[in-house]
A and B are shown apart, each in its own frame.
Chain A
Amino acid sequence: MGHSIPASATISAGGSAGRAATFAGNLVRRRLSRSPLAIAGAALAGAVLVAGLLAPFIAPYRYDQDDFRHLALEGPSRAHWLGVDIHGRDTLSRVIFGARVSLEVALAAMVVSVTIGVVVGAVAGYVGGWTDEVLMRLADTFSAFPGILLAVAITAVVEKRSLFIVFLALGLVGWPAVARVVRSRALTVREEEFVLAARALGAGRARIIFRHLLPHCLPPVIVVATALMASNILGEAGLGFLGIGVEPPHPSWGNMLADARPRLTAQPWLCIGPAAAVAIAVLGFNMLGDALRDALDPRQPG
Chain B
Amino acid sequence: MKTYIIRRLANVVPVLLGVSLLTFTTMYLLPGDPAELLGGQTSDPEAAQAIRKRYHLDQPLVVQYIAFLARLGRGDLGESLRSRRPVLRILAERFVVTLQVAAGALIFALVVGLPAGVIAATRPRSILDGACMLLALVGLSVPVFLLGLIMMILFTWEGSFFVPSGYAPLSIRHLGLPCLALGTVPAALLARMTRSSMLEVLSSDHVRAARAKGLAEWRVVIRHGLRNALIPILTIIGTSAASLLSGAVLTETVFSLPGLGRQIVDAIDDRDYPVVIGGVLWLAVTFVLVNLIVDLLYGALDPRIRYD
Q: Is the CB of A156 closer than 8 A to any CB of chain B?
A: yes
Quick one: given A241-B250, A264-B152, are A157 and B138 in contact (CB under 8 Å)? no
Closest-by-CB residue of B relative to A177 is: B239
By the criterion CB–CB under 8 Å, are B30 and A157 in contact?
A: yes
CB-nearest residue of chain B relative to A235?
Answer: B143
Chain A residues positioned under 8 Å from B11 (CB to CB):
137, 140
- The reply to whether A152 and B268 form a contact with Cβ atoms under 8 Å apart is yes
Residues of A in contact with B (beta carbons under 8 Å apart): 137-138, 140-141, 143-150, 152-154, 156-157, 159, 230, 234, 237-238, 241-242, 257, 261, 264-265, 268, 271, 275, 278-279, 282-283, 286-287, 290
Distance between Cα atoms of A230 and B141 in the complex (Å): 8
Q: Are A144 and B288 in contact (CB under 8 A)?
A: yes
**Is there an interface contact between A152 and B265, defined as CB atoms closer than 8 Å?**
yes
Question: Is the beta-carbon distance between A144 and B268 smaller than 8 angstroms?
Answer: no
Tell me which residues across on chain A come within 8 A of B146, comparing CB atoms.
Answer: 237, 257, 271, 275, 278-279
Instruction: Assess whether B142 is in contact with A145, with CB atoms less than 8 Å apart.
Output: no
Question: Could you tell me how many residues of chain B have their Cβ less than 8 Å away from some Cβ of chain A?
Answer: 46
Give chain B's interface secondary structure class: helix
Contact B246 A148 (CB under 8 A): yes
B142-A146 in contact (CB<8A): no
B26 with A278: CB separation less than 8 A: no
Once A137-B18, A145-B19 are accepted as A-B contacts, the answer to whether A159 and B26 lie under 8 Å apart by CB is no
A141/B141 in contact, CB under 8 A: no
Contact (Cβ within 8 A) A141 B18: yes
Report chain B residues within 8 Å CB of A287.
Answer: 137
Interfacial chain A residues near B268, Cβ < 8 Å = 149, 152-153, 156
Contact A145 B149 (CB under 8 A): no
Chain A residues with CB under 8 Å of B242's CB are: 143-144, 146
Asked if A153 meets B276 with Cβ closer than 8 Å, knowing A144-B15, A146-B246, the reply is: yes
Contacts of A286 in B (CB 8 A): 137, 140-141
Contacts of A268 on B, CB cut-off 8 Å? 153
- Which of B85-93, B121-129, B279-287 lies at the interface with chain A? B279-287
B296 CB within 8 Å of chain A: no
Nearest-neighbor residue (CB-CB) of A260 within chain B:
B149
Chain A residues in 8 Å Cβ range of B153: 264-265, 268
Closest chain A residue, CB of each to CB of B156: A265
Q: Which of A157, A264, A290 contacts B29 (CB 8 A)?
A: A157
Q: In the complex the two chains form, what is the Cα distance from A154 to B18 in whole Å?
A: 18
Is A146 within 8 A of B280, CB to CB?
yes
A sample of 6 inter-chain contacts (CB < 8 A) reads: A145-B23, A145-B284, A146-B261, A153-B30, A157-B29, A238-B145
Q: What A residues does B253 contact at CB under 8 A?
A: 241-242
User: In chain B between 143 and 164, which residues have their CB closer than 8 angstroms to a CB of chain A?
Assistant: 143-146, 149-150, 152-153
Q: State the CA gap A275–B148 with chains docked (Å).
A: 12
Contact yes or no, A149 B265, CB < 8 A: yes
> Which of A149, A153, A257 makes the CB contact (< 8 A) with B145?
A257
Q: Which of A144, A230, A279, A282 has the most CB of B within 10 A?
A: A144
Name B11's closest neighbour in chain A (CB-CB).
A137
Q: Is B75 an interface residue (CB 8 A)?
A: no
Q: Is the CB of B149 within 8 A of A261?
A: yes
| Distance in angstroms between the alpha carbons of A148 and B276 in the assembled complex | 13
- Provide the residues of chain A in CB contact with B249, threshold 8 Å: 146, 148-149, 242
Query: Which of A146, A157, A264, A290 is B283 in contact with, Cβ under 8 Å?
Result: A146
The distance in angstroms between the C-alpha atoms of A226 and B300, with both chains bound, is 34
Cβ contacts under 8 Å, A137 to chain B: 11, 14-15, 18
Say yes or no: B250 contacts A238, CB within 8 Å.
Answer: yes
CB-based contact B140/A138 at 8 Å? no
B269 to chain A, nearest CB (A): 7
Q: Which of B16, B137, B146, B265 has the most CB of A within 10 A?
A: B146
Contact yes or no, A149 B250, CB < 8 A: no
Q: Is the CB of A145 within 8 A of B30?
A: no
Cross-chain contact B145 with A241 (CB below 8 angstroms):
yes
Interchain nearest-CB distance for B36 vs A (Å): 15
Known: A143-B287, A144-B19, A230-B140. 12 other contacts (CB 8 A): A140-B288, A143-B242, A146-B261, A149-B280, A156-B32, A156-B268, A156-B271, A257-B143, A271-B149, A278-B146, A279-B146, A287-B137
| CA of A138 to CA of B21, assembled, Å | 12
Tell me if B245 and A279 are in contact (CB < 8 A).
no
Within the complex, which residue of B149, B245, B284 is in contact with A264, where a contact is CB–CB below 8 Å?
Answer: B149
B20-39 interface bits toward A, Cβ cutoff 8 Å, 1 = contact, 0 = none: 00110011011110000000
Q: Is residue B247 contacting chain A, with contact meaning CB distance below 8 A?
A: yes
